[in-house]
Each structure stands twice: as structure tokens, then as C-alpha cells.
Amino acid sequence: MSQHHFDVLIIGAGVSGIGMACHLRRECPGKSFAILERRQSLGGTWDLFRYPGIRSDSDMFTFGYNFRPWTGGKVLADGASIKNYVRETAQEHDVERHIRYSLAVKTADWSGADKCWTLTAENEATGETETYTAGFMVGCTGYYNYDRGYQPDFPGEQDFQGQVVHPQHWPEDLDCTGKKVVVIGSGATAITLVPTLADKAAHVTMLQRSPTYLMPLPSTDKVTLALQKVLPAKAAYKLTRARNISISRLLYERSRKSPRAMRRLFLGIIRRQVAGHADMRHFTPDYNPWDQRLCVVKDGDLFQALKAGKATIATDRIERFTETGIRLASGESLEADIIIPATGLEIQMLGGIKPTVDGQPVVMKDKVIYKNVMVEGVPNAGMIFGYTNISWTLKADIASEYLCRLLNHMDRTGIRTVVARDTENSQAEDTILGSLNAGYIKRAEDRLPRQGTHGPWKASQNYLEDVKILRFDPIEDGYLEFDGRASRAGQRQTGGFLRPLRSALFGS
């Protein structure tokens, strides 16, 4: 047995990993655990990305943890504030001392004979290999490659005489003052960078292959600020959280049920924001709302930069890079001193770890996901995977709660192993990321686990439904196998619809 043995090993000290650890401290206080983190600081995404203007694209009252209020009136917080919030949460729940930094997990192997996971990790500070064992493993690594983002091979890129800077590796000393900048992309990163850089650059062009649905959102919530003056912080947080969950859910559901009406609504909002200062073709996607993620524009800053003439949008394809910029398929040329390919993420499951079960590799694309928390056929392991249509942390919280419920159930009943078994061959074509058709998801279809056609194998993007499933439905549901025996389908707990509804909106 390794000298580094724990009841639970958590991989990753970002928003999900710190949240999982806090839930363990709150709900499974007797469990020993460690967090293995490759970076030298906690925060995950919010420690990695340092580009100007980096901020949340979800409102902080639903992005914050359900057990620790986000205070203040900021709706869209900057990256440094979010990292500080995560750190303070870790400190408040005595989690930070359990983090082992600079450890890049290389292998994760389950032994049915020993009933434990063995993880090997390279200490990137010393170059030494360390071994950890645990009865249960939880992957909290997010879903993209931290080493590099997605960057297409642009013809002629080597000819460009200026700088090419990827947002995932932003140089601290980069100065855009007086420079011509081209930002390639139309997602959240580009939408954030363009107005921020436009303050100092000579001019910024956002070059997009196709438009994205945009939604202006105030950075400060005046209603919440008023509530905070008359209510305790926790009560004000819960009320704001409930309101924002309801609004987000309504927008998503209406977009799926009435796409034409919601398309008119979104485009009408943008038309008023642009006020004739830009061609609406740059803001008119060729897909329905929420076929891809909707991008938030903080305080309408992108539209202000366009109206002030500090920024422009070009919708075209790249023919090639030139010495002085980019030549487009239309024949137009964009001059640039700095080119920023905000071209998206490279998806990667479990931080690139390829787990094995009794010596057999786990091929994620051949697996189906159970309640979006466990992978079929993989014992004693969970995976925290948030929402794509609303705040990531809403799902991360209730997924962590579920895993804590599962661990407590195993302790009470003397069970040592649990594994989800798909005995009905329910695997579908959709991946864990569901119906989104964004490019970064399509590129990763060969490495993402699948969801099923029904029951707990079908991934839900419905928070109210997931609260019922993960917080209230019985652990023994007939789909989990405990110590080699199939569980019996349990009776649903009482409480009707109101209990999960109240719990979903106002927290546990």
C-alpha cells in the first residue's frame, strides 16, 4: 500500500475540485482526501487565463457555490475576483491544506482485487514520480486541454511579421497600445477581448467565420444591491440565485421550443444596441438560439466600441496570412501588428489521463454516462461535469452532493465497490455535451463519452430535474451494481414536486 493513501482522491483544484472537496468536508467529515493539482495555484481556468478583460460569462449568483454566497452587486466578475472567491471558499472550509500542487497525474488504474485506484503523478517541480491510492476517485479537470487551445493551421502563418498570441498563453508584457489588432473568433473570449483591447489599440478587428448570438448584460445588479441592504447576505443571495436560475431556464426552454420567436427577440435587442453603426449580417447566425452557446456582452461594451469606431467586425474566411496581416477569401486584406486566434478550446477528458480497469483501457467514446456523474463500467469513480446552457457550478454542486450521498450510503451498508451498468444497451449518438453543435464539440466526438436514450443515461440540461434526480432519488435505483450485485430499484422518496423545486431555487 502506498504511503499516500486516502479515502477519496480529487483530480483538479479548480471550481469543481474545490467545490467537491468542500462538500466532502461538509457532508462526509470522516473521509480523508487529497486534491492533486498540476498547476502551482488553485483556481483552474481562473488561474490559467490571464488575457485582458477575462471574466465570467455566467452570472455570479448562479456561478457561485450554493453553500457560500457571492457578495456584492457584480453580475459578471473578473477572473481575479473569481479566483479569489474560490481561494477564500477553500480556506473557509479548511480545504487548501489538502491540495498537492505541481502534480501532473499520468495514470489512473483500478484494481478489482485490491478495490482501489492507483494514481501515478509526476511532480513537475522535482521531476519525481509519486504514487497515490484511494478507494474512490473524482475527476474535476474540466473538459479542455490546459496545455494548448485549438488553433487551425493558417496558410502562410510563418510569413506574418507581427506577433501571434493565443489567449490561453497571454504574455504579461504584451502591449497593444497604438497597434492594429485582429482577433480571430466570435466566442466568449473574442467578445471579451475586442472591447478591452480597443481602449488602447489603434484599431481592433474581430474576424469571424460566422456570427454568434449575443446578449448584453449589465455588470452590476441594482436589484441585488438593494436586497443586500435590507436582507442578510445569504437570503439576498438565495433570492437572486432563484430569480437568475428561473430566467436562464426560461430563455433556454423558449429557445428550444420557439426558436423563430427567440431569434427575432435576440436580433431585435442587438439591432437596438448597434443602432445602425454595423451591418446586422455580422450578428445574424445561420443556426437557432442555443444550438451553440449564447455569448454575454458586459454592459454592451462591444457595441460601444463599434459605435465609437474603435473596432469593426469582418465576417469572412481566411485565405492566408501575409507579411502584414490577413488576406480574406473575399479578396479584402486586414492589416495587423498583432493577431490573436481566439479560436476555441481543445477538448480533453480527465486532463488527458487514460484510465484502466483491471488492466483494460477505458475508451470514453464507447462508454455511456450515468446521471452525468459516473461512467458506465468504471468502478468507484465520479466525474464532475457542469452545464453548458447555464452556470457550470449549478451542476457541479449537486453532482458533488450526489457523490457524497453515494459515499455515505456505501459506508452505512458496508459496501466497498459501486459501478454503473448499462444492461439495456441504451447508448445514443449524442455526447455528454448533448445537442450543442459548436465546432469544439464536433472536433471532440471521438473522445467524449456518450449519453443514453432514456433513464439515468440520458444527460439532462434541466436543473430542476437534476436536483430531483441527484438530491432526492434513491441511490439504489436498479442501475448501480454494489460489490458485484445489482441494486434493486428503490421507492421514490416523498415530497412531491415542491420539495425539489424549492431546493433547486433556494439551495440546500
> CB–CB of 215/266 below 8 Å?
yes
Question: What domains, with CATH codes, occur in the chain?
Answer: 5-147+346-506 (3.50.50.60), 157-341 (3.50.50.60)
3-class SS of residue 436: coil
3-class SS of residue 382: strand
The runs of H, that is alpha helices, within 382-489 are 392-413, 439-442, 463-467
Q: What is the pLDDT of residues 310-358, one digit of tens each?
A: 999 999 999 999 999 999 999 999 999 999 999 887 888 888 899 999 9
Considering only CA atoms, which of 501, 428, 15, 507 is closest in space to residue 249? Answer: 501
* CA 395 – CA 458 distance, rounded (Å): 15
* Mean pLDDT of all residues in 445-469: 88
Who contacts 153 (Cβ-Cβ below 8 Å, separation ≥6)?
none
At 84 the pLDDT is 96
Strands 295-298 and 214-217, sheet pairing: parallel
Instruction: For 418, list phi and psi in degrees, rounded to 5.
Output: -140, 140
Residue 440 clears pLDDT 90, i.e. is over it: no
Residue 482: beta bridge partners? Answer: 418, 485
* Mean pLDDT of all residues in 370-379: 96
User: What percent of the chain clears pLDDT 70, i.e. is strictly above it?
Assistant: 93
Who contacts 496 (Cβ-Cβ below 8 Å, separation ≥6)?
none
* CA 31 – CA 37 distance, rounded (Å): 19
Which residue in the block uniquely carries the three cell numbers 473568433? 185
* CA 381 – CA 403 distance, rounded (Å): 9
pTM of the predicted structure, to 2 decimals: 0.92
Q: What is the pLDDT of residues 223-232, one digit of tens each?
A: 999 999 999 9
Q: Give the count of beta carbons closer than 10 Å to the beta carbon of residue 421.
A: 14
Cα 418 to its chain centre, rounded Å, is 26
Look at 501 and 297; give whichever has higher pLDDT: 297
At 491 the pLDDT is 41
